[in-house]
Amino acid sequence: MSLAFYIYVNFIDTLLDNFLSVWIAGGSKDLKIYADLALLSVEGDEHVARVTNLHSATLGYSAVIYGDMFDEDDMIHTWKEVWKNLKKDEHLPEKLVAFLNSLSAEC
């Protein structure tokens, strides 16, 4: 495993685990509800894009956000789920970064 990959994995794991798992503690079902409500209430393409980026990225990384990684086998299984999602949507990392950039622009 390269150092860049290790840093990326740890960054995503820490960010998603500490931010989204607390913010949306009910898991991906609650996320879908919140995303649907947000899409109904936002106006403008920029805001719609922010909501859809968060929704797509969170669902794509949901195994890491809401899963348990107690040992190496759990970690491998969890990241295999993420790799499957990345094969379906190769733009998940960009969507996550776009959402995080929009958060930092708000601050």
For residue 11 the two structure tokens come to: 């960054």
Query: Mean pLDDT, 10 residues at a time, over the chain (107 residues)?
Result: 56 61 68 79 82 82 76 86 91 84 66
Structure confidence at residue 87 (pLDDT): 93
Structure confidence at residue 83 (pLDDT): 92
Separation of alpha carbons 42 and 1, rounded Å = 41
Q: What is the pTM of this model?
A: 0.63
Residue 16 carries which DSSP code? Answer: I
Structure confidence at residue 1 (pLDDT): 46
C-beta of residue 14 within 8 angstroms of C-beta of residue 59: no
Instruction: Convert 51-88 to b/e letters by CB count within 10 Å (16 or more is b).
Output: bbbbbbbbbbbbbbbbbebeeeeebeebbeebeebeee
Cα maximum dimension of the chain: 44
Domain definitions of the chain by residue range? 3-106
